[in-house]
Structure 1
Amino acid sequence: MWHFISEQISQSIGDDFICDDIREVKGGDTHQNYKISDGHKRFFIKLNGDDGLPYFDAETVGLNHLRDTQLFRVPNVICSGIIENTSYLVLEHIVLQHGDEQSWYQLGVQLAHMHQQHTQEMFGWQEDNFIGRTPQPNHWHKRWDVFFAEERIGFLLQLLAEKGECSVSIERAVDSVKQLLYGHHPIASMLHGDLWSGNVGFHQRTPVLFDPAFYFGDRETDIAMTELFSRFPPSFYDGYEATWPLNEGYAYRKQVYQLYHILNHALMFGSHYRDTATSMLMALDQ
């Protein structure tokens, strides 16, 4: 397998590459990750089963759109495919470091600039993709409240119901989300879609983004995700606010935006997140 992948890399970069150093990279819940090298050139490899290529195709599209903004360092996609019942994605290897205060401030500034790139009148995306292992439907909608209630919350609740792990009325939950977001009319911003600390890094103080769940939606959803599991440093929010301040209603909407990611974790990891999601859903009716 590694010999075949080396050949594909060689064809893609137009130079000989034969990996002689293969090291597994721990972390991540969706794929097996490796760093490979020939002593001079290094690449980051993701592996999955033979049904995993759609994940990598969607990731490639998202990375390319983030790169096209020319706002962030984004790993280049080298090649992808299937060999021996294993799908693979080869990415540029970028050495990541922790960001200092100025680096995080710059990430906030640049994210706000990306959110300001208003190129769509509707919410969604031209194709469905994934958030982690979970399918993410992106059917176009004119109204944000309908899109988020149906394509995000309702869809994940239906997936949980199919596993016998949904204890709430899906229809009632969807209606509650629509009511909460009714009257909120954001522009359709280009979103990372899964913006937490594990999908952000810095290379020579330059912000690096990866593993997107790309679509066009309310910019507040990206910010809400940054506050969910491990809040970004204060300088990030200072940079964002200095560039494009959030509406005061964000604090009111933040919890329902975070609910999407809690539901996704309930699908992937089970009871603790399911209980948290149930409590958040019950709070919508109060």
Structure 2
Amino acid sequence: MSQPAFAETSSVPIQFVSRSRQRAEAPPALTTVCSSCHLKDLCLPCGMSAPTVERLDGLHFGRRRVKAGQPLYRAGESFQAIYAVRSGTFKSTLGATDGREQVTGFAMAGELMGLDGLAQGRHPSTAVALEDAEICAIPYDHLMELSADSGELQRAVGRLMSREIVREHSLMMLLGSMNAEERLAAFLLNVSQRMKARGWSATEFHLRMSRAEIGSYLGMKLETVSRTFSAFVQQRLLEVDKRHIRILDLEALTRTFEGRLQ
């Protein structure tokens, strides 16, 4: 599947802006701080005490909008920051030796990207916006300086890294032990839970990723993804209108996913 203008589009360097400079310049796009962000209960400040969250407000940071189809960062670029999604949806991909693209994850508002670059100092993956999006870039060096004398912040960073490990394990389980129906049911339930956590409908939502991207993520051919969606419609588990999904029987869909685990 071709990506419009992807080959010619380079990721744009992010300029980190200090809070003191932010207050002096007061640009409208840089007014939100962690302590007042509506996503703080899902993002980096999640579980932190109010004083620690206020310390995060002193971080140098970068903000930018990313157009649909534009890369936030590319594989091989230097690791400088972790990225908090403020709005929109991203996909993460790895390039196979034969030129194919392997989707390794999807990130929504309130979720973080870029931690995979910590090990080697360069990003092994590419992150691309699936719709017009906005991110906050948290410079990793500054975050480490701030956490040097804060055990609470150190634990929060540790939780972020642990979350990446759990995500990798979940993907391995999907690809290694489940049939097509179980994989797609698990994927849809995951999206449902993430929507609910954001205060949105858990049973009716619009998928920002294509069938081909879902198939790449789940290790399924495009035809298999389409056939499995059709099977769920026939079983009256879902209503599907292109990318718009309505879950008709959440409990039955859950049983489809849980069958292999039990």
Could you tell me the TM-score, scaled by structure 1's length?
Answer: 0.26
